[in-house]
Every structure is written in structure tokens, then in C-alpha cells.
Structure 1
Amino acid sequence: MTVTASIGIEADRFDLGRALAADDGDVRVELAQFVPIDGGLVPYCWVDAGTVDEREAFERAVRSDDRIAAFARLGTAPERFLYRIEWSTAVNNDDGGFLAALRDHDVLVERAVSTAGSAAWTFRLRALDREALGRFQRTCEDHGVAFTVRRITHGPAETTDRYGLTDKQREALVLAFDEGYFEVPREVSLTELADHVGISRQAYTRRLQRALRSYLTETGIFELRGS
């Protein structure tokens, strides 16, 4: 049975984190996928920047890093840009570290995100089972790459979105927001929200709490708490 783990890792603990460090500005980096090429992992990432100047400054900083052979802009979406990272020979052939451990233990990166000024990344990883996840963590620690496991869930689970939300959790969270549950004073009660969905108040409350926890975990609440 597969397991999903949400982990926090300091940016200076792995090459990708160091290379993509955004010191200031309104820059957010989200890994899209890793593509295995020639025994290495080629990352693709989305970059959200507040201004053109901030994006261009970020591009210059990444391209000046000795670990990066190329940082190519591939396309755009509303307010964000897709890039491919090509490593230098030294990094691509490295047989240790975080990226190598991902490859060697067949650990899938479902999501990874960091924001400007943050010293950490939040990863959502999927492994074959808890033992495989443990082996991956021990390999990382053996190479000086320590990380914090924040949450582990066991699969198979409902399909989740980029924020770790199931369809039902997303529905509960959006409904609560739209109906004014988070306003002061509140414009709707949990009982009314539960009636709208057709479940008990207790079930809706539990679903909303899980949605909030997943959303906050995936969007970096641990980074804010540590800042």
C-alpha cells in the first residue's frame, strides 16, 4: 500500500534548493515534475513572480549558479512561467544527495514549493510503502540531507489536487468560504453548511478540518511558523 508524506527540508540541504533560492521579492517556485534523463533527474518548475524585474532577477541568479548548465523558459501561464533545469556535469553525475535518493528509491514527487525569503521547501512525496519511505529517509540522512516528516497518509486514497485536497474536502472548504463561515461575525453555521452538503454536522466539521490542515500544510504554514 503506497504512502504519501509531507516533508519540510531546508533549502541549503540539497542542490536544487540552493540553486533556486529566491532571497527577496514576490517569487514563488513550484516543481512541476522530474524527468529521468541519462541516469539523472531533470526538474521542470513553475515560477510566479510579482513583477518582471523580480522574474528577470531570479533568472539571472539561477543562471549564475555553478550547479546550473541551463535554465530555459519553456512557456507561460497566467502570471507564471515554466522552466527546465539542466544540471552541470558535477551535479548530474553525483551519486549522493536528495535527488539521487529520490531516483534510487523510486520516490515520486507529487508537489514541491518554496517562496521568496523562505529557507525551506515543502515536498509531498509518494513511496511504495512506509518501509520504502524509511529507506529513502535513511539514505538522505547518510548523505547529510535531513528533513522533517510532517504528515504521513496511507493509500490508496482519494485523488487529491495540488493542495492535497480531495474533491469533497475542496467542496467543503469552498462552500464555507463562499457562504461566509470565515467572516466576522460568521454568516452561516456548521449545521447549515452540513445540511447544504447533505451530511451530519460532525462529518462536515471533520471534513472541513482535514481540508484546512491539508491546505495549510501544502502551502507552507510550517515555514510561516518558523519565520
Structure 2
Amino acid sequence: MNIVTEFVISSPSLPLVSIPDTLEPDKIECVHALCLQSDVRTFTVRIDPDDTVSPENLSALDEIMEATLLGQTTNGTVYQITVELDESISEAFESEHIDATQLESTTITDNQWREKKLFRDYESFNEFRQSCENHDISLELVSITSDPSISDGIAESDLTDRQREALSLALSRGYYESPRKTTAQELAEEFDISQPAMSSLLRRGERQLLSSSLGSHGKLKSLSV
């Protein structure tokens, strides 16, 4: 049964925690993450416009490889930030340890991430928690629910984080254009996984999107001819 969890993970090595630790914001919101390589991720973050932060301020931090101002919204200033992950964090965030879907933006404060995720079942969540513990990341569970009326409905419409990352990368590299501008092998090399694993991620993501768009539970009626 799907479960919805809210938790706080803590470690000085977590990506982006250097921003509230070093600069003015008390917190930032991470609205999207894309895995470029096993140890490199690009995050889309939102920062309160009243906080005086610039791309130059962000780029000066050791963990940040590149910071680009994307624009302003009613909720804050949006940046795209590429981060080189600490080795332990990279290993903890590997796909086999996380079978979950992000439900809300991640709130990042000094040394902490507060997240709300949908896991397939208790076993999947416990695997994620064990991976955190194995890599010196503390996890404090705030809440957990297994109410099917909440979790099953969410599961039908959302991709896992890994599926979303794979599809986002494929789209940005022109994989779905005609003719294709990249191959599954090239995407796999960027994602630092095997080509069969990449193809499987894309197929599962595509199926989830089609199932959500075309029919409940993916059960579509056959067309008459």
C-alpha cells in the first residue's frame, strides 16, 4: 500500500544547505531537481525576493558549479543551480535507494531538508531510511499515513523522481524530436547508468504519463474496428 511521509533529513553535506548557512535566506524552496551525472545535479530553487542574493553570491559557494537567474514569480526569485554532490550524498541518492515521488517543494534550511514524499510501501520507505543512516544522514519522521484515498490517487497521476529526471533529461536533449538528437545510450552515459536501465526508466515514465492521461489504472478499453 502506498504511504505518504513527511520527514526531515539532516547533514552538513546535503546539497544547497550552504545557501541558508552562508547567505541571508533563512530558507529556500527547491521545486525541481535533475540528475545530470551521479555526482552532479541541477536544482530549480525559489528564494524570497526580500533576501539580497545574486547569482554571483551563489556561484561563490564551494559546492555550486553554476547559478543562473531564471526570473521572478509572485512567490520569489527563481534560480537554476548546478551542484557537485558530496560522495556520500551521491551514493545515498542513487536510484535503487529511492522509489518515491516528491509531493511538495523541498524546504531547505541550515543543514536540513524537509520533504513530503509518496513511497510505494513501508518497505520502500525503510530502504530509503536505511540508506540515509548508512551515509550519515539523520532522518526524523514527522508524519506518515497509509490512507488509500490519499495515496492511491496521487500515485496514479505522478511520476517517481527518477522517472521525471530521466524524461526531463531526454526531452531537454532532443530525444523525442524527429529525427532524434540523442540516443538512449548517450542519455544513459549522462545519467551514469546502463542503456537498458535508462530505456526502462523512460518506458515506465512514458507508460505512467499515458496511463494518467488516458485512463484510470492504465486500463484502457480496446478500440472497435
TM-score range, shorter chain: 0.5 to 0.7
Residue of structure 2 in register with 1:71 after alignment: 67
Partner SS, residue 139 of structure 1: helix
* Residues 1:152 and 2:148 aligned together: no
Match of 1:101 among 72, 85, 93: 93
Tell me, which stretches of 5 or more residues in structure 1 are unaligned? 161-227
* Residues 1:55 and 2:49 aligned together: no
* 1:1-227 alignment, distance < 5 Å: 1-10=1-10, 12=12, 14-23=13-22, 25=24, 27-39=26-38, 40-51=40-51, 54-56=52-54, 59-78=55-74, 80-88=76-84, 91=85, 94=87, 96-97=88-89, 100-101=92-93, 103-104=95-96, 105-110=98-103, 111-114=105-108, 120-158=112-150
Evaluate the alpha carbon distance shift between residue 102 and residue 47 of structure 1 in structure 2; reply closer, same or farther with a 3 A threshold: farther
Q: In structure 2, how many angstroms separate the alpha carbons of the residues matched to 1:135 and 1:79?
A: 34
Q: 1:121 Cα shift?
A: 3.1
Does the 8 Å CA contact 2:8/2:113 hold for their aligned counterparts? yes
Evaluate the alpha carbon distance shift between residue 154 and residue 18 of structure 1 in structure 2; reply closer, same or farther with a 3 A threshold: same
Q: 1:142 Cα shift?
A: 0.6
Partner SS, residue 58 of structure 2: helix
Evaluate the alpha carbon distance shift between residue 28 and residue 99 of structure 1 in structure 2; reply closer, same or farther with a 3 A threshold: farther
Q: In structure 2, how many angstroms separate the alpha carbons of the residues matched to 1:42 and 1:77?
A: 20
String of CA shifts for 1:25-51, please: whole Å, max 9, x gaps. 455411101223344542211111325
RMSD: 2.9
Does the 8 Å CA contact 2:25/2:47 hold for their aligned counterparts? no
Q: Which has the larger radius of gyration?
A: 1
Partner SS, residue 49 of structure 1: coil
Q: In structure 2, how many angstroms separate the alpha carbons of the residues matched to 1:68 and 1:24?
A: 13
Does the 8 Å CA contact 2:3/2:146 hold for their aligned counterparts? yes
Does the 8 Å CA contact 1:4/1:127 hold for their aligned counterparts? yes
- Alignment length, in residue pairs? 149
String of CA shifts for 1:7-32, please: whole Å, max 9, x gaps. 123352x3314333245645541110
TM-score normalised by structure 2 residue count: 0.55
Q: In structure 2, how many angstroms separate the alpha carbons of the residues matched to 1:20 and 1:156?
A: 37
Does the 8 Å CA contact 1:19/1:62 hold for their aligned counterparts? no
Does the 8 Å CA contact 2:8/2:115 hold for their aligned counterparts? yes
Evaluate the alpha carbon distance shift between residue 64 and residue 157 of structure 1 in structure 2; reply closer, same or farther with a 3 A threshold: farther
Partner SS, residue 93 of structure 2: helix
Tell me, which stretches of 5 or more residues in structure 2 are unaligned? 155-225
Residue of structure 1 in register with 2:203 after alignment: none
Q: In structure 1, how many angstroms separate the alpha carbons of the residues matched to 2:6 and 2:90?
A: 15
Does the 8 Å CA contact 1:5/1:149 hold for their aligned counterparts? yes
Letter in 2 for 1:108: T
Residue of structure 2 in register with 1:183 after alignment: none
Q: In structure 1, how many angstroms separate the alpha carbons of the residues matched to 2:8 and 2:125?
A: 14
Partner SS, residue 136 of structure 1: helix
